[in-house]
Each structure stands twice: as structure tokens, then as C-alpha cells.
Structure 1
Amino acid sequence: MNSNIAVMADEDIVTGFMLGGIKEGHPVKDMDEAEKTLKELVSRNFSVIITTEKIGDALRKTINKVTNESALPMIIEIPDKTGSIRRESDPMSELIKRVIGVEMVK
């Protein structure tokens, strides 16, 4: 497992991360392309994959399958340019709870 980070999102977010130093950026236009790209990034053994909350929600089954099978890659969901999505459960809190065994309390 290498220690690379990849970002998969819309073109603006990918560009921003690449300007910040991320070398692997994959802009996606629709959810079919996003799912194919996610599977490719997982197969390439990235340690961290950053995507948007909207993509994460659309690919929840695939993301849950990947994260339940192994601690890596960590799939981190960030808000897109329209802002954060209100959710009943926070995927990042669930990831922290699963990995370190501690529940984050607000």
C-alpha cells in the first residue's frame, strides 16, 4: 500500500486540490464515471481518496463495501462548493469510530 492521496470530484475541486499539491486528481462528470474511477483508485492502492459528499452519498454501497473490507483506503467526503449536506449519521465520525474505537461527541 503506497501513501498516495487522490482526489475525485468535480473539475473545480480537483483543480483546487492539485494547486494545493495533490498529484492525483480525477475530475468526474457523472456518477457512472465516479464509480468507475473510485474502483480504479481502490485497485491502485491509494491510502486516502478524497471525494465530495454528493458523490459519497450516490456511491454509498460501494464506499461501504470498500471501507468494511479494509482500513485503507480511507475515503474522505468533503462538502462541495454548494456547502455541506445535512445527514443523520456522519461518515467521517463512523470512520473514526471504526478505526480507533472511540465515538466522537459534539
Structure 2
Amino acid sequence: MSSKIAVMADPDTVTGFMLGGIKDGFPVNNMEEAGDKLKKLAKEYSIIITTEEIGDNFREIIDKISSESALPMIIEIPDKKGSVERESDPIRELIKRVIGVEMVE
């Protein structure tokens, strides 16, 4: 797997990341499209940035991908609507899994 970064999200979020320098952006317009695209990107990219909404809709797929290997890292960010209220923070869990240290507030 190469060390490439992809962003898969709504078109506005993808545009923002591409303006910031991410070369590989994949806008998705519906959740059916997002699930198939996520599986394909996981085979080719080492970091996948996606939105919390997509993450919540495909939690089982993301958990399966993450449990099989350290890469790809799937990073969930808030979309243009804002952050989603959750019991656990996926970024905190990712850091704990990758480096073995739990962040304390």
C-alpha cells in the first residue's frame, strides 16, 4: 500500500481539502455510493479522511478495516453541518490503537 491520502466526503468538504493541497478527492452524493467507494479506497490509500456522517453510516466496515491492519487510517471529521455528539471520540480511539497511549483531558 502506498502512502497516499484521500478525502471522501460531500462535494463541499472535498473541494475544501483539495484547495488545501489534497490531490485525491472523491465527492459522494449518497450513502450507497460512499460504502462502495470506502471499500475501494481502503485497498489503495494509507490515510482516508471522511466525514462523521459517513463514518456513522459505515461503522461496521470501518471497524472491520481498522481491526485487520493499522493502515489505512480512517479519520472522521465534522462536515459543514458541524460535529456529531458521540459517546466515544473516534480520533481518540485511533490514537490509542495506533500508538498505544490514551489521551486524557
- The aligned residue for residue 10 of structure 2 is 10
- The aligned residue for residue 68 of structure 2 is 69
Equivalent residue runs for 1:14-53 within 5 Å: 14-44=14-44, 46-53=45-52
**1:30-74 CA distance string (max 9 Å, x none):** 111001000110122x11000000100000000000000000010
Structure 1 consecutive aligned stretches of length 4 or more whose deviation exceeds 2 Å: none
Q: SS state of the match for residue 62, structure 1?
A: helix
TM-score (norm: length of structure 1): 0.96
- The aligned residue for residue 81 of structure 1 is 80
Q: SS state of the match for residue 76, structure 1?
A: strand
In the alignment, structure 1 residue 97 sits paired with structure 2 residue 93? no
Letter in 1 for 2:16: G
Letter in 1 for 2:94: L
Q: Kindly, what percent of the aligned residue pairs are identical?
A: 69
Gaps of 5+ in 2: none
Letter in 2 for 1:42: A
Gaps of 5+ in 1: none
Letter in 2 for 1:35: G
Shift of 1:7: 0.2
Figure out how many residues of one structure are paired with residues of the other and give that number.
105
Distance in 2 separating the partners of 1:105 and 1:86: 19
CA root-mean-square deviation: 0.7
Shift of 1:10: 0.2
Shift of 1:6: 0.1
TM-score (norm: length of structure 2): 0.97
